[in-house]
Amino acid sequence: MKDYFPEEPFGCRCGCGLDALDPAMRQILNESREETGFPWIIESGSRCDAHNAAVGGAENSAHKVQPDGFTHAVDIRVFNPVTRGRMLEALQKRGIRRFEVSNKHLHADNSPFHVKPLLEATYFKG
Ligand SMILES: [Zn+2]
């Protein structure tokens, strides 16, 4: 399968070098991206403790390193409700059962350390 994310967009955005996304999640993202046929912009992947706190992430966020040594979450940019729905559908088809949806991004993770299923919804103004 083609790697749709060759520029390593999954690393921590603070520059600390943390880049620990679960390879199984990366595979699911590639398969799902291929199925939808449009670009997926990864806005957040792995987060160190400091960066997670800086961006207001949950204390127990699946973006942080879990007991298996991997991070399990990504935030994908949302263009409109239809592409958001197609991303959700493709990810669900491959077993993803934890989502946070908003008008800005779709959070998805395959963390085995968090409760399932999860569907949180947020609306950001502006
Ligand atoms: Zn960091």
pLDDT of 50-103, one tens digit each? 999 999 999 999 999 999 999 999 999 999 999 999 999 999 999 999 999 999
If you average pLDDT over every residue of the chain, what do you get? Answer: 96
Report how far ligand 1's centroid is from the alpha carbon of 48 (Å): 4
Q: What is the pLDDT of residues 10-26, one digit of tens each?
A: 999 999 999 999 999 99
Is the pLDDT confidence value at 124 over 90? no
Quote the pLDDT of residue 126. Answer: 74
d(CA 48, CA 39): 26
Residues near 94 by Cβ (< 8 Å), separated by ≥ 6?
A: 28, 31, 32
Report how far ligand 1's centroid is from the alpha carbon of 26 (Å): 19
Quote the pLDDT of residue 38. Answer: 97
47-10-23 Cα angle (round to 5): 105
Report how far ligand 1's centroid is from the alpha carbon of 50 (Å): 6
Report how far ligand 1's centroid is from the alpha carbon of 37 (Å): 31
Q: How does residue 49 score in pLDDT terms, banded at 50, 70 and 90?
A: very high
Quote the pLDDT of residue 72. Answer: 98
Quote the pLDDT of residue 8. Answer: 81
Q: CA separation (Å) from 89 to 8, 14, 17, 28, 108?
A: 24, 31, 32, 12, 11
Domains, the chain: 23-122 (3.30.1380.10)
